[in-house]
Amino acid sequence: MMSTIPAAGPVACEICLKEIPRSVAQSQEAADYVYYFCGADCYQQWQARPPLRHLGLIVNGLELDFESAQALAQAAARRLAPDAMLLAWYDRPRGRESPEVPECTRQPGWLAYAESHGGDIRVDINHGEYVFMFNPG
Ligand SMILES: [Zn+2]
């Protein structure tokens, strides 16, 4: 099984991002990743989270700029949740992201931000050219 977690050293709690010694962390194995928690409270919060809904869009024959990508993503997210609110995004062509927060141990900051703010709708355009995270509202 593949894992990007180093074999030793502290790990970050999945929910509060606090660094904890691996020996006291509670862990939960998922399909291809081990999640760590500082304690039972964070573990319960993680368990109660709604599952991520992942939409993938492919656009051919059209040069997508950020504005049109965002409009497409918004339309798609609102099919799932009429009040979907954009939380975070990644724009690979321009190398930009929002919000700009420090990278956490296992994923980019903007993604960690979205996941910790109820961002459970992910819209992926052209295999990660643009990624938008929405809160269902
Ligand atoms: Zn925690």
Q: How far is the CA of 80 from the centre of ligand 1 (A)?
A: 30
Q: How far is the CA of 73 from the centre of ligand 1 (A)?
A: 31
* 24 and 80, same domain (yes or no): no
Domain region containing 60: 53-135
Q: How far is the CA of 114 from the centre of ligand 1 (A)?
A: 17
CATH number (domain holding residue 116): 3.30.1490.340
DSSP assignment string, 68-136 = HHHHHHHHHHHHH-TT-EEEEEEETTTTEEES-----SSS-HHHHHHHTTT--EEEEETTTTEEEEEE-
Least confident of 3-7, 30-34, 46-50: 3-7
Q: Round to whole Å and give the CA distance between 99 and 112.
A: 10
* 40 and 21, same domain (yes or no): yes
Higher-pLDDT residue of 86 and 15 is 86
Q: Is the pTM of this model over 0.85?
A: no
* Average pLDDT value for the chain: 87
* 76 and 31, same domain (yes or no): no
Q: What is the pLDDT of residue 108?
A: 84
Residue 33 has pLDDT above 90, yes or no: no
**Does 43 reside within a domain?**
yes
